[in-house]
Structure 1
């Protein structure tokens, strides 16, 4: 396991490439991949689908379930895609994990991510909510940060190098 970091959370706003990069990282590191979106309660999905941003209370149950997933995979490892926009969300995700969790922040401009979301049809996250995600975003200062302007394979190489 790179640097003892068994669970890696690939984080960023919607459209930053968390699922794509998470799946590639999962293959590269031979760890199971989990998309945090699959763990949202039905109410959260309905709220986002209607164009209403989630608040901290909406996200709490979801983050707790992702933390449980991380703790369950502490020994064997996992890759989890999760927006983890705020510092306190990352603290909730890290609870009980000690130094076994790393965050990888997929950093990109509003314009680049907006252009990606405009091409994406199968997702419940409307483009209008992207502004609210950027408004809520507290970029991590002590975690791995990679630019999403590179090819996915190059992003994964950079992540593995930094791990």
Structure 2
């Protein structure tokens, strides 16, 4: 088996709504592939975190500085994996302006799974009440976007294997 250095691999954005499994899959994918994982939530400006903590959905203007920070990190060229909701096409387009070869892995569990996950966890600044606004904002990947949808209905290891297989094509 040939091992490809992370710097020769495209950056990956694990996208999806809150509770989709971006952080869990991201950490497992990084461990399996020798890449760096960054949770995009950690890159939000403090004002964004406060709005979300208060249950207020972010606007596009709120997201713009955050997306620029993520785009700059994707552009480093080390094959980084970043968890970022990237719910709208224009957000993904902005990220691609920084790193054109970015692969978008849309983690897409069922609504029932999402609700159960959100009910079972306490997130620092993402209350379960924002799920409907996120689902309403979600614009699926288009055929001209480099990426794929992953149902994440199986185990984390199966999802990681599916993403790695998709990138091996």
Q: Give the equivalent residue in structure 1 for 2:56.
A: 52
- Distance in 1, matches of 2:16 and 2:111, equals 12
For 1:46 and 1:123, the matched residues in 2 are separated by 10
Shift of 1:6: 2.2
| Residues 6 and 77, structure 1, Cα contact 8 Å, conserved in 2 | yes
Aligned match of 1:108: 109
Instruction: Check whether the contact 1:86–1:137 (CA below 8 A) recurs between aligned residues.
Output: yes
Deviations 1:74-125 (A, max 9, x none): 1x211000000000000111113232x1010001222210110000014321
Superposed CA deviations along residues 49-89 of structure 1, whole A, max 9, x for unmatched, are 001000111100000000011112x1x21100000000000
Taking the aligned partners of 1:109 and 1:10, their CA distance within structure 2 comes to 16
Cα distance in 2 between the residues matched to 1:96 and 1:89: 11
For 2:163 and 2:151, the matched residues in 1 are separated by 10
SS of the residue corresponding to residue 123 of structure 1 reads coil
Which of residues 16, 19, 29 is equivalent to 2:20? 16
Contact 2:36–2:80, Cα closer than 8 Å, also in 1: yes
What is the match of residue 43 of structure 1? Answer: 47
1:5-154 equivalent positions in 2, closer than 5 A: 5-72=9-76, 74=77, 76-99=78-101, 101-142=102-143, 143-154=147-158
- Report the aligned-residue RMSD: 1.3
Following superposition, which runs of at least 4 residues in structure 1 exceed 3 angstroms of deviation?
Answer: none
**Structure with higher RCO (Cα < 8 A, 6+ apart):** 1
SS class of match (2:74): helix
Q: How far is the alpha carbon of 1:131 from its aligned partner? A: 0.4
Structure 2 length-normalised TM: 0.90
Task: Give ranges in structure 2 of 5+ residues lacking alignment.
Answer: none
CA distance in 1, matches of 2:108, 2:31: 22
Matched residue count: 159
The CA distance in 2 between the partners of 1:77 and 1:140, in whole Å, is 21
